Amino acid sequence: MPEALRLYAGTQAGMVILRGVGDIWTSMRGSREYQSFFPDQVVDSVWGCRTTPEVVYAGVTQDGLYRTRDQGRHWRRVLEGDIRWVTVDPVEDRVVYAGTEPVMLFRSEDGGDSWEELEGLRALPPEVQHHWWFPYPPHHGHVRHVYIDPDNTDTIYLALEHGGIVRSFDRGGTWEDVSEGIEYPDVHMIVRSPEDPAAFFTATSRGFFRGDPPEAGWQRAEYGMESDYFHDVVMLPGDPPALFLAGGHGSPQYWDRPTGADGRIYRSEDSGRTWRQVGAGLPVTHPGMCWQLARDPYDGDAVIAAFGDVARGHTAGPPGEGDIYRTRDRGDTWERIGQQKRGTQFLGLPAIRVLWAAAEA
């Protein structure tokens, strides 16, 4: 019997949880339509535990961080605030980091029961914090992504939207800015190179960059791409390892055009030196942006891509539409998944902002 997969899709209108067995997908609560947890709220981050997949955290903007210990059946708020990213330590499930708007970082050592602010982040000099802003009111920047080095969990990188990149080598005690070379500091994601532990890649609203190493300055790494707006990037191990990158065209304020975001997915199998668009089964360009790429916990050749017809920086407005696609052959072919059918009509998902794929406990 195929193993069951759970997808936690944070959307512009709450969280939808899908359960898939083979090619059969159902939504939690057994509804004929998609019903969301946190209805009418924006779920802007979601992350789960490595060894206890029934434990998942969800960040709800302007509300707080929630935790489930029973695969999404019940949720409890464990931290108040405008939560914009949550990450579980890659080695120790009980260590959890939560980033907020305005820029602050919190850590829990007991699975979310208690929290401490890592105040060293706000000790960075004024000339660094001057860049921590956002173009929409109240104009506060926020933590968009937290990267923890799996080989040395004392090392933490933060992608700030807007604000650039900062890092710590002592578990958040002290920080330094490593944004040199990024012309516009609207940073969405940062990951380590699959071939060189000193090199990193970062996806921003105006380019994709490689830092080799970051303190030496960032250089563009976009050969083979037609996109100029980038969000998520994920790596599949293998020989060779593959990097997948989500791209769009232009700034989100212009995505009300007929082609929308012109969302695309690219793959590199030479550590980011060259890229090509993938793959069969995906629209050549999608009107929504691919905001999240997730690895399948069962299949090392599988990636799940979540699209949302919404500008990511907007936390208000109509929910738009969402799509989920999956590849099982490292990006060569894709299938649309999670669509429920009523008669001859498919029921659409709300615009997806984040996605977590978990094994069923």
Q: How many angstroms separate the CA atoms of 62 and 64, rounded? A: 6
| Distance, CA of 184 to CA of 29 (rounded, Å) | 43
Q: Which domains does the chain have, with CATH numbers?
A: 51-193 (2.130.10.10)
Q: What is the pLDDT of residue 257?
A: 82
Nearest to 38 by CA among 18, 11, 57: 11
Q: Which residues of the chain have pLDDT under 50?
A: 30-33, 313-317, 342-346
Query: What is the structure's pLDDT at 341?
Result: 52
Residue 343's pLDDT is: 43
Q: What is the predicted pLDDT for the residue at 31?
A: 40
pLDDT at 175: 98
pLDDT at res. 318 = 55
Residue 27's pLDDT is 81
Residue-by-residue DSSP string for 48-74: E-SS-TT-EEEEETTEEEEEESSTTS-
Q: What is the pLDDT of residue 263?
A: 93
Report the alpha-carbon distance of residue 116 to residue 119 in Å, rounded. Answer: 9
CB under 8 Å, gap of 24 or more: what pairs does 176-185 form?
176/124, 177/124, 177/128, 178/211, 178/214, 178/215, 179/131, 179/218, 180/215, 180/217, 180/218, 181/209, 181/211, 181/217, 181/218, 181/219, 182/207, 182/209, 182/218, 183/207, 185/131, 185/160
| Alpha carbon distance 339, 353 (integer Å) | 17
pLDDT for res 5: 93
Instruction: Dig out the tokens for 290 from the structure.
Output: 């691919």
For residue 344, the model assigns a pLDDT of 41
Residue 79 in contact with residue 106, Cβ under 8 Å?
yes
